[in-house]
Amino acid sequence: MIERLPEWLPIQTSQATVNIILLGVILTASIFADTIARRTRVPRISILMLVGIVIAVIHQVWLGQRDGDLLGGLTEPLIQLALVMVAFLLGSELKVSRLRRTGPLILVVSLFVIVGGGLLVGAGLLALGYPLVVAVSLAAISVATDPAAVSESVKENRKAGLLPKVLLGIVAIDDAWGIVVFGLSMATLGWVIGSEAELALLHALWELGGAVLLGAAIGLPAVWLTGRLRPGEPTQVEAIALILLLAGFSSSMGVSALLASMVAGSLVANLSHHHTRSFREIEHIEWPFLVFFFVLSGASVNLYQATDAIVLTVSYIALRVAGRVLGGYLSTLVAPARGKKLPGSIGLALTPQAGVAIGMALLAAERFPELRDTILPVVVASTIIFELLGPVLVRRVLRS
């Protein structure tokens, strides 16, 4: 169409200019998403993913680009940066002082929900005949919880007592454990299905051990270097530098970016006693990247194969809910004395699922590209459902 315009018009088009325009459109759409979320109480994340799915319809159906990358290679780096930010901030929640305060009760409930829920999802999908990679990947992804949805629901309810404290304590560490479980699962899968067992085992050990080493190599210098400049722009530079280094080196070294970022965040949080500004600066710049992350996650779904995953999606949702309920119920039976006061349905309050789960799905799809159109639509669809129903279930448990 542009070729038919008069020659004197200085109109040019390229992938770079199209990318800039699309990024502007996505951020503009996020403003409307915020407005709709405030007026309807529909989670922003769900709205942003629906925006991404609308973009996928336009891109794949209307324009006929079934396999084309929306941003021409820019999608993956943006998603990677968002995931690294999330993991770094989750690592900052793993303070020794906080873990001591939360005590054994929160640890017991969290581990029962993680182990019980994950095992039920994995075993259930295997029993239904799904491949080992699909079952283990979705079982690991099912561990993740949306801390924002749970925290917001607890605040809205304004209920005091043991239950709200336990829920807030669990979601503070839940995704961090989820990242560890996911990293171990991916490494184990690589070892199990690898053609050369010894080489695959070494690769798995490097992916996990290398991530810890990388996180320490970047996190320990950051403990001393960050926060020593005046507040403001220099501190933002420090935060961005940390994120870029973690994302770049983890990708080039072939280690888990989530685990490396979590290790670095935990080290900075526990050892940098002279400041906390780096975390606040990352929080200030995180949202635009999360907007790109959620929209592009929705836009990455292959609509022509999404219908094939309907049965798997329903199975995953049912098994994840059942696993959360069972794990929560069992935790109240074996928990310390105070845990007897918790409702047996506490697992229902831990059903919301959001960004980290989608990030894990994208990483699993990158590791096993042949299953991308099986895993990704399931997680995106289930996340939308859990984000819509999850807060309702949290409020129901709090009223029990």
pLDDT exceeds cutoff 60 at 240: yes
What pLDDT score was predicted for residue 152? Answer: 65
Query: What tens digit of pLDDT does each residue of 58-94 get?
Result: 877 777 766 656 776 777 788 788 878 877 877 776 7
Q: What is the pTM of this model?
A: 0.74
For residues 365-384, average pLDDT? 82
Mean pLDDT, the chain, rounded, equals 78
CB 44 within 8 A of CB 37: yes
What are the structural domain ranges in the chain? 75-399
Cα separation of 115 and 137, whole Å? 14
Spatial contact of 396 and 352, defined as CB atoms under 8 Å apart = no
| Residue 318's pLDDT band (cuts 50, 70, 90) | very high
Give the max Cα distance, the chain: 81
Q: How far apart are the first and last CA of the chain?
A: 61
Q: Which residues of 239-277 are buried (b: 16+ CB within 10 A; e: fewer)?
A: beebbebbbebbeebebbbbbbbbbbbbbbbbebeebeb
DSSP sequence for 183-245: HHHHHHHHHHH-SSHHHHHHHHHHHHHHHHHHHHHHHHHHHHHTT-SPSSHHHHHHHHHHHHH
Least confident of 205-219, 332-346, 351-365, 382-396: 332-346
Query: Is the pLDDT higher at 340 or at 245?
Result: 245
Which residue type, as a one-letter code, is found at position 232?
Answer: G
What secondary structure letter does DSSP report for 66? S
43 has a pLDDT exceeding 80: no
Q: Which CATH number fits domain 75-399: 1.20.1530.20, 3.40.50.300, 2.60.120.10, 1.10.3720.10?
A: 1.20.1530.20
Cα separation values, 306 from 53, 137, 208, Å: 11, 18, 32
CB-count exposure of residue 68 (10 Å: 0-12, 13-18, 19+): exposed
Q: Bigger pLDDT: 283 or 78?
A: 78
Residue 159 is predicted with a pLDDT of 66
Q: How far is CA 363 from CA 76, 157, 215, 254, 284, in A?
A: 10, 35, 18, 12, 25
Give the closest residue to 293 by CA, choosing from 79, 49, 141. 79
Residue 274 contacts residue 228 (beta carbons within 8 Å): yes
| Nearest one of 243, 215, 124, 117 to 170, comparing CA atoms | 117
Residue 219 has pLDDT above 90, yes or no: no
pLDDT-based confidence at 234, cuts 50/70/90? very low
Determine the pLDDT at residue 337.
64
Lowest mean pLDDT among 8-17, 49-58, 68-77, 366-375: 8-17
| pLDDT score of 340 more than 70 | no
Give 306-374 as a DSSP string.
HGGGHHHHHHHHHHHHHHHHHHHHHHHHHS-GGGGGS-TTGGGGG----HHHHHHHHHHHHHSGGGHHH
Specify the pLDDT at position 392.
79
pLDDT digits over 251-271, tens only?
Answer: 888 888 878 888 888 888 888
Give the mean model confidence (pLDDT) for residues 164-171.
Answer: 76
- What are the residues whose beta carbons fall under 8 Å from the beta carbon of 322, sequence distance 6 or more? 120, 124
State yes or no: pLDDT of 316 exceeds 50: yes
Which of 191, 179, 186 is CA-nearest to residue 215?
Answer: 179
Nearest to 262 by CA among 356, 365, 387: 356
Asked if residue 146 has pLDDT above 50, the reply is yes
For residue range 173-197, what is the model confidence (pLDDT) as tens digits?
776 677 778 878 877 787 777 655 5
Token code pair at residue 90: 């989750």
Q: H or E stretch including 148?
A: helix 147-157
Radius of gyration (C-alpha) of the chain in whole angstroms: 22
